[in-house]
Amino acid sequence: LVGDAVSAWEKVFKKADLELLLDHKGGTLLGRFDPTLIRVMMDNLIDNALHFSRSKKSGLPHSYEGVNVRLRGENGKGIIIVDDTGIGIPPTMRSKIFKRFYRGRDIALTNSAGLGLGLTMVRKIVRAHGGSVRAEENPSLAAHYPVKVRGARLIVELPIS
């Protein structure tokens, strides 16, 4: 399901001059998932990352252009990690981004349209599957660009069988 979603977005990312990478070294994760809802969840995570990521024109090193989706299995959980190269999410806003109609104060910096519903839907879908979702700073960017570039990491944890 995750791979299908990533594949469906590849042309959009190419047109935006961004990379979309999938790392699923953790193999296939099996669980009781509603495939339609998981696809909606993935589409919203990827679309959000697309809107906030920096393109090749941003001047970042090549390895920091775009979105990286990783799939892992740990301790009975399927973990989906979506890293972007955008403006990041300040710690005080990380719980708020999942609230309906919430749009960050730095949204004007991104040319991003939206109603603030995508991550709300992600949270509802994840909870309906018995999981959790949280936002963090993208550590690979923060280590190299402590002020100008933060990037975001969204982590979804779902129970697997």
All residues at 6 or more sequence positions from 150 whose CB lies less than 8 Å from its CB, including other chains: 86, 87, 88, 89, 137, 138, 141, 142
Please provide the average confidence, as pLDDT, over all residues in the chain: 80
101 torsion bin: left (phi>0), alpha (psi -120 to 50), beta (else): left
Instruction: Residue count of the chain, please give it.
Output: 161
The region of weakest confidence among 42-46, 83-87, 122-126, 155-159 is 83-87
Q: pTM score, two decimals?
A: 0.82
| CA–CA distance, 158 with 133 (Å, rounded to integer) | 9
Q: pLDDT, tens digit, for every residue of 118-138? A: 889 999 999 999 999 998 887
